[in-house]
Each structure stands twice: as C-alpha cells, then as structure tokens.
Amino acid sequence: MSFSITVLGSSAAVPTKKRWLSSQVLACEQSLFLIDCGEGAQYRMQQFDIKRHRIQHIFISHLHGDHFFGLVGLLNSLNLNQREVSMHIYAPEPLKNYLEHTFLLSETRLFYPLIFHDLQPIENQLIFENESMTVHSLPLIHSIPTFGFIFREKQKKRNIRHDFVETFHPDFDTIKNIKNGADFVTNDGKIIQNQLITTSSGQPHSYAYFADTQINLNYQPFLSNIDILYHEATFSDAETDLAEQRGHSTARQAATLAKAAHVKKLLLGHISSRFIDDESILEQEAQSIFPDSELVEDGRIYHTANLYSPLNKK
C-alpha cells in the first residue's frame, strides 16, 4: 500500500505494557516519515520491522517528554550505523538547542547533516513538499506550544489506457503530456479528449495527527477531505473538566471534531494509563457521536486505501 500509518506508541504521559509513548511512522510511496518520537521508538521500529534508515523527516508536535525523549537515542543509533543522508527535523525551536547540548554532553559527533526547521505559530503552514506529498502544520491549543500535522498525498497523474497505447503507439513526450491531462491529436488532426484515453489514478490519501490538544472545532476547515484523523482522547466524559484544565480532550470531543470535519475515520490515541483495565468506554463515547471511531493499537498498520475498498463500506 502506498499510504499507511504504523503506530509505535499511543500512551499518554507514562507507558504501559500495551501502549508505549507517542510515535508513529507514516509511509508514502518509498518514503517514511516519523511523527513524534517518545522513548523507545527505535525499539518499536526493530520490533515492527521498520527500516529506520529510510526516515528522512521527523515531525515533533511539542516538547513534553513523552513525545520526544526517544529522539536522541534514535539519532545516535543512526549515527553509529554510519548514516550519511541528511535528517530533517520539524519541531518547536528549543529542540535544536537541546539536541546540540545533549550531543555535546555525550561527545556525539553526527556524521550526517541534521537540518532543523522551526515550527511557526501560523495556521496551515506548508512545512514540507515533495513530488508525492505535502505536510502542513497548525498550532494546537495545549499547555505548551504544540503543533498538529496534516499529510496530504498529491493527486497522482492519470493512467493511460492500454488500448489507446496499442492503437496509437504514442512517444514518450506524448505519454507524459497525456498523463498530465493533455488531449491527443491524431496524425490526421483529430482531437481525442483526455478523459477517453486515460483513467483516474484514484483519490489522493491524507492523514492528520492532532496530539496533544484541547478540543477546538476551529480546526475543522483544515481537515477537509481528510481520510484518517488521529486525535488525542486522553480522557472520558467523566474527566471533561480535567481534560480542559490540562489542555487535553475527551474521546467524545475528538469524535465531535471528526464528525464536524467529515473525516473518513477517527483514531483515538494518547490514551491515559487510568484506562489500563478497560479502555472500551472511550471507544463507546466516541462512537456515540461518530461511528467510525476506533481506539488505536500499537503495532497496527492503518492503510488509508482500506477506506476506499468496497469491502470496507458499511
């Protein structure tokens, strides 16, 4: 699958045996993107057979320890494994100084370039783009500066129909133009419309990562056409006041945003260890508002393509 999310950790604040600290890997085409890096992320990558050397971009939502204490260990291990390729880090600005301090202290000299991109408190800022994807950041409401990340696959070029190729034997440049949407002109000057000789490559996929944050329905416009929203759901209805005091959300609140934004699926994450014996209340409260809500699971791979499969329709 070309667009998927593997959850490495989804516990709030302290790890449990079942849920480690916040970290995820998004795969898009051949690229891997790391989102947050709680302690132990590098162990989880080993456990789940994720090739960490393929990560070139790391997005850190905020500087609470449970979201970044695994970063120095990961960067250190990549260094010891002779990495030479640049690593880009998108994070709140103070992280840069922390990394420099830590590597100075541990006498670590990185042999690969570490390129730091400060996140700015600007809505829907484009922070990364390549040929197949964009990433936008968004300031969230939490107890310290925190950012959400929105990953959107670009619309892929159209596929050329085999019967057209077999009939007209177009050259390389013509194929390129048709994939980009051009019509075809036959040798005798007749125009064949693009739609007749191509098929759609399908809907581009998308993912939004919102942790940690208070509920805020003003995020809604930035979530248009999102396939999967990962939203923190640290608390249940019973702790609604506590959630607000601590800059967190309840599962129901996460579902309210998911419903308003018409996302296809809501993954509930950043689960408090207070639910260690029974987390089902969170899923129930969310599903009462938005049926396509689901408690995220460490180690599971979420494929956006499944949301478009006829088998998945309810």
**Annotation marks residue 241 as catalytic:** no
DSSP tag of 21: B
Axis-axis angle for helices 280-287, 251-261 (nearest 10): 30
**Triad 127, 131, 135: Cα angle to 5°:** 25
Of the candidate residues 29, 65, 182, 201, the single one contacting its own copies (CB under 8 A): 65
**Cα–Cα distances in Å, from 250 out to 3, 111, 235, 242, 297?**
28, 43, 4, 9, 18
Map tokens 């070029």 to a residue. Answer: 157
Compare residues 22 and 206 and give the one whose CB is closer to its own copies.
22
Q: Is 19 in the site for its own copies (CB under 8 A)?
A: no
Question: Where does this chain touch its own copies (CB under 8 A) — which range of 104-112, 151-159, 160-168, 205-213?
Answer: 104-112
User: Is the alpha carbon torsion for 215, 57, 131, 51 positive or negative?
Assistant: negative
Of the candidate residues 30, 81, 280, 309, the single one contacting its own copies (CB under 8 A): 81
Cβ 31 vs Cβ 19: under 8 Å:
no
Of the candidate residues 30, 106, 193, 280, the single one contacting its own copies (CB under 8 A): 106
Residue 228, both tokens = 């999967």
User: How many of the chain's residues bind its own copies (CB under 8 A)?
Assistant: 37
User: Strand ranges (DSSP E) for 161-223?
Assistant: 184-185, 191-192, 198-199, 206-210
Q: Is 66 in the site for its own copies (CB under 8 A)?
A: yes
Rule CB under 8 A: which of 154-213 touch its own copies? none
Cβ 204 vs Cβ 155: under 8 Å:
yes
Q: Of the listed 36, 66, 212, 298, which one is catalytic?
A: 66
Compare residues 17 and 162 and give the one whose CB is closer to its own copies.
17
Of the candidate residues 27, 28, 39, 214, the single one contacting its own copies (CB under 8 A): 39
Q: Is 140 in the site for its own copies (CB under 8 A)?
A: no
Please name which of 190, 255, 231 lies closest in space to residue 22, comparing C-alpha atoms: 231
d(CA 127, CA 135) in angstroms, rounded, equals 6
Of the candidate residues 16, 132, 177, 220, the single one contacting its own copies (CB under 8 A): 16
Question: Where does this chain touch its own copies (CB under 8 A) — which range of 65-73, 205-213, 216-224, 248-256?
Answer: 65-73
Please name which of 269, 301, 13, 259 lies closest in space to residue 148, comparing C-alpha atoms: 269
Q: Is 245 in the site for its own copies (CB under 8 A)?
A: no
CB of 80 to its own copies, least distance (A): 5
Of the candidate residues 17, 162, 169, 190, the single one contacting its own copies (CB under 8 A): 17
Q: Is 76 in the site for its own copies (CB under 8 A)?
A: yes
Of the candidate residues 105, 163, 172, 311, the single one contacting its own copies (CB under 8 A): 105
Residue 232, both tokens = 């923190």
Residues in touch with its own copies (CB under 8 A): 13-17, 20-21, 39-40, 42-43, 46-47, 63-66, 68-70, 72-73, 76-77, 80-81, 94-95, 98, 101-102, 105-108, 143-144
Q: Which residues are known catalytic residues?
A: 66
